[in-house]
Structure 1
Amino acid sequence: MRARLLEATVECLVERGFSGTSTTLVSERAGVSRGAQLHHFPTKNALVVAAVAHLSEVRRDELAAAAAALPSGRRRTRAVLRMLGDHFASPLFVAALELWVAARTDAALLEAVAPLEQRIGRETHRMTIELLGADESQPGVRELVQATLDLVRGLGLADTITDDTRRRGRILDQWADTLDAALARGTTTPGGDA
């Protein structure tokens, strides 16, 4: 029942945004009574905070599964960027974005969201370093990887307004070439060429 409530909360966040998500709507969508929902989560913030934790686990698992399927060799960088671009254009990112915006003006929500998002950010950065075979001890590499993550996050944000898939693909293709050239100075990707 708890899992159904959390999934329904994420779905509501994606479809209706934070302000349009209510505990009544979530309990209806999850197919549970209002009393059962209140037993597990007495307030909207308690429900959303639990959904944030659930969402962070789902996002981590989704990225790990996609990372495991990446090819090796000369097109690896492009595949890594495509994986990240797809992740940041997914419904899970949209739900997270709704929470970020709501947390900006809700101190209790911010207190719950900020540490989770910081942890996810660190994990995603570390995973990206590993997937690219980048050497963070080289000057500028850490910043280059962070710029890459900021780029794909920004492209994901643009995708929330219109389907930006084709433009995102062209930008990421060009960035893969740029990234490969920058990382080629002393680093290689796992399983193949830079």
Structure 2
Amino acid sequence: MTIQAASRMPQQDRSRATRRRLLEAAVDCLAAYGWAGSTVSVVAERAGVSRGAAQHHFPTREDLFTAAVEHVADQLLADVREQLSPEAQGDTPRTETVVEVIVRMYTGELFRAALHLWVAAAREEPLRARIIALENRVGREAHRAAVEFLGVDERAPGVRETVQATLDMARGLGLANLLTDDGARRAGVVRQWARILDGVLG
């Protein structure tokens, strides 16, 4: 977008666009530089805005980064629902598709960025309560989506724990993928876990 075009945008739209650029830049910085290297100034530069504009939208560093991860988490959960809609289903067995999509939640840039925040939250008191609340909300939404798209009743004995184990397994695969590309091994694990789910959930 050119400066001239941006100047013709209504103020509210310009503000919304600036906020979005800051949120996306914050996630990129977390994934690339970690918490220690991701200052408000670095994010503002990456987003192409002034530090003052960044602080206008997000008064503190904690405000910026928790909002950034929440923003992308909302996008990711919306993408999960879109990918698992009946219209998006291909020839892959449904259970395997559900597991694949859940695993992708934990092997992308969002997970890498969120992990930096989790580690920082263990030491940074202002972050801790925010990250715990955010992780709980994302976890609940992911669990709800998994139950819905697997088509199971979590009131049945063992179902809730099995679905939670699927999410925990996906998180573990995400950790394994941080240092090296674990795609080939992961594909086999996903297929086998889908068979286990079909057997357990019926």
| TM-score for both structures, normalised by structure 2 | 0.85
Please report how far the alpha carbon of residue 73 of structure 1 lies from its aligned counterpart in structure 2 after TM superposition. 8.0
Cα shift at 1:100: 1.2
Structure 2 matches for 1:82-161, cutoff 5 A? Answer: 82-161=100-179
Greater length-normalized contact order (CA 8 Å, ≥ 6 residues apart): 1
Is the CA contact 1:70–1:80 (under 8 Å) kept in the aligned structure 2? no
Q: What letter is aligned with 2:193? A: W
Query: 1:39 is matched by which residue type in structure 2?
Result: H
Where does 1:55-74 land on structure 2 (aligned, <5 Å)?
55-68=72-85, 70-71=88-89
Give yes or no for contact 1:27–1:33 (8 Å, CA) kept in 2: yes
Q: CA RMSD in A?
A: 1.7
Contact 1:70 1:79 in 2 (8 A): no
Query: What secondary structure sits across from 2:35 in the alignment?
Result: coil
2: CA distance between counterparts of 1:183 and 1:104?
A: 36
**Counterpart position of 1:191:** none
| Structure 1: runs of 5+ lacking an equivalent | 185-194
In the alignment, residue 148 of structure 1 is paired with which amino acid?
T
**Residue 74 of structure 1, CA deviation:** 7.6
The counterpart of 1:167, out of the listed 159, 167, 185, is: 185
Contact 1:78–1:172 at 8 Å: present in 2 too? yes
Q: Aligned letter for 2:76? A: R
Query: In the alignment, what sits opposite 1:77?
Result: 95
* Percent identity of paired positions between Structure 1 and Structure 2: 47
For the Cα contact (< 8 Å) 2:147–2:154, is it kept in 1?
yes
Q: Judge conservation of contact 1:4–1:30 (CA < 8 Å) in 2.
A: yes
1:17 maps to a residue whose letter is G
Residues 74/11 of structure 1: CA separation in 2 closer, same or farther (3 Å cut): closer
Residues 94/74 of structure 1: CA separation in 2 closer, same or farther (3 Å cut):
closer
Structure showing the higher helix proportion among its residues: 2
Per-residue CA deviations over 1:148-168 (Å, capped at 9, x if unaligned) read 110011001110111001111
Contact 1:9 1:21 in 2 (8 A): yes
- 8 Å Cα contact 1:85/1:155 also seen in 2: yes
Deviation at 1:65, TM superposition (A): 2.1
Question: Which residue is 1:24 aligned to?
Answer: 41
**Once the 2 structures are TM-superposed, how far is the Cα of residue 180 of structure 1 from its aligned partner?**
0.4
2-side partners of 1:38 and 1:78: how far apart?
44
| Corresponding residue number in structure 2 for 1:8 | 25
Shift of 1:113: 1.3
More displaced stretch, 54-63 vs 165-174:
54-63
Deviations 1:91-139 (A, max 9, x none): 1111111111111111211111111210111111111011111121221
Matched residue count:
184
